[in-house]
Each structure stands twice: as C-alpha cells, then as structure tokens.
C-alpha cells in the first residue's frame, strides 16, 4: 500500500503538536522527521529531545531520516527517543552493512538513503539487508525544492532491480513531491511518499494529505 508520509520540516515548529494532529486525523500512518547536522547537509534541524517530545503526542510511526555525518554515533539515542524507523545515507556510512544491522538489532526498521547523484549500484550487495530504500528526489538539506527529473528513471530502475531479485522492500522517495507529480512517481514504483512543503505550506494540511492519499490510491490501481 502506498503511504503518504508528511515531513514536519516545513511545519510551524511553535505549534508542532497541532500540526501533527492535523495530518494524523487525515489518516496517515507515518511521520517523517529530518535530522540535519550542518555538516553533511548545510542546514540544521532537530535532535533526540524533539523526537522524544513528538513521540509523546502521536501514535504515528516515526520515520527518522538522518542527514548527519557519523550517524552510527547517534542511532541509539534516536531509537531510545522513539524512532520506529531510522534511515542513514550511503554517503555517510563506510560500514553500511554494519550500520543497518545495528539499527535492526535495536528493534527499529533500517533504511538506506541515496542522494540523487549516487548510483543504485552502491547498494548491490546490501539490498537484501535493508528494510527499505529511500531515494532522494532533491539534494538533501531544505524543503520546498523542485524534484530533479532524472530521479524518476532511478525509481523505475530500483523497482526493476527489486522485482528481478525477488525482494519486497518499500521504496521511499523524498523531496519536491506535489499533487502534480505524485501520480507518475507512484506509477514509477514509489511506495512511501515523503512530502513537506506541499502539505504544511498549504491552507489546509489535512485536506491536502487526504487528496494526496486519494491520488496515490488511484495511481496504484494503474501501476506500470
């Protein structure tokens, strides 16, 4: 089933609880939390204390996207704070296999993320280990950017590899998704659709999410 996964990056952090409640009421099942360190990406965001506060106000699955150097140093704190899923960038993990298994050993779901320019072939050997793969469809660091068009072919290629290998991991995508490109992204093979500014900068986030869920369900029916 395709999931719409709101990213709080573009939410109003002074009213975060209310913002989360709105999208939860619309029926989403996961919430995407972007962690940035000002090194791997130019921006800085939240750490484990904020994840812990969010954990107290929602039952949604917390999908923590680590855009930080040396993520293995912080994985345990994010899981202790309430992360259900943790994804790490291939570009930050010289011991990717170990890092994914470490996340799993702590009881969380382990994802690996690729920047737009990073080849799928970097995951050849580790695909059977990852619980999900997140393809960045913008360069990470900021909300509100435009989707990079070549990423569409990359989603298709990953979906092809997945079926050739007989694997079933979900493909998550992140960045630049809106109501206009959602359908082709789902048709290309995306299962979990992260969306930040389209939702939280809209007049009615709950209605926007509901509409995106409707479009995604419709697109799944005619997936190629």
Q: What gap in Å lies between CA 179 and CA 186, rounded to an integer? A: 12
Of residues 133-192, which lie at the interface with Zn ion (CB under 5 A)?
Answer: 174
Tokens 């992140």 belong to 174
Cα angle 92, 96, 98; round to 5: 130
Q: Which of 85, 99, 195, 208 is in the footprint of ligand DX5 by CB under 6 A?
A: 195
Catalytic residue among 37, 63, 174, 191: 174
Is residue 34 a contact residue for Zn ion (CB under 5 A)? Answer: yes
Is residue 174 a contact residue for ligand DX5 (CB under 6 A)? Answer: yes
CB atoms within 10 A of CB 140: 21
Is residue 34 a contact residue for ligand DX5 (CB under 6 A)? Answer: yes
Is residue 140 a contact residue for ligand DX5 (CB under 6 A)? Answer: yes
Comparison of 42 and 166: residue with beta carbon closer to Zn ion: 42
Q: What gap in Å lies between CA 100 and CA 168, rounded to an integer? A: 17
Is residue 118 a contact residue for ligand DX5 (CB under 6 A)? Answer: no
Q: What gap in Å lies between CA 102 and CA 115, rounded to an integer? A: 22
Residue 53: both structure tokens together: 């506060």
Range in contact with Zn ion (rule: CB under 5 A) among 51-59, 61-69, 103-111, 146-154:
61-69
Would residue 34 show up in a list of annotated catalytic residues for this protein?
yes
């Amino acid at each position: 089933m395709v999931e719409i996964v709101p990213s709080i990056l573009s939410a109003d952090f002074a009213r975060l609880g209310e913002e989360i409640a709105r999208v939860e009421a619309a029926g989403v099942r996961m919430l995407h939390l972007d962690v940035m360190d000002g090194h791997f990406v130019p921006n800085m965001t939240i750490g484990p204390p904020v994840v812990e506060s969010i954990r107290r106000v929602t039952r949604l699955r917390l999908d923590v996207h680590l855009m930080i150097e040396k993520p293995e140093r912080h994985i345990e704190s994010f899981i202790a704070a309430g992360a259900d899923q943790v994804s790490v960038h291939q570009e930050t993990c010289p011991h990717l296999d170990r890092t994914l298994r470490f996340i799993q050993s702590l009881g969380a779901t382990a994802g690996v993320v690729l920047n737009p320019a990073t080849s799928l072939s970097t995951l050849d050997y580790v695909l059977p280990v990852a619980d999900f793969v997140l393809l960045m469809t913008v360069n990470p660091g900021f909300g509100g950017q435009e989707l990079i068009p070549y990423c569409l072919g990359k989603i298709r290629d990953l979906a092809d590899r997945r079926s050739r290998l007989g694997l079933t991991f979900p493909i998550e995508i992140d960045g630049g998704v809106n109501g206009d490109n959602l359908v082709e992204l789902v048709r290309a093979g995306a299962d979990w659709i992260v969306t930040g500014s389209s939702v939280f900068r809209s007049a009615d986030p709950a209605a926007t999410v509901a509409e995106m869920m409707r479009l995604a369900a419709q697109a799944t029916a005619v997936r190629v």
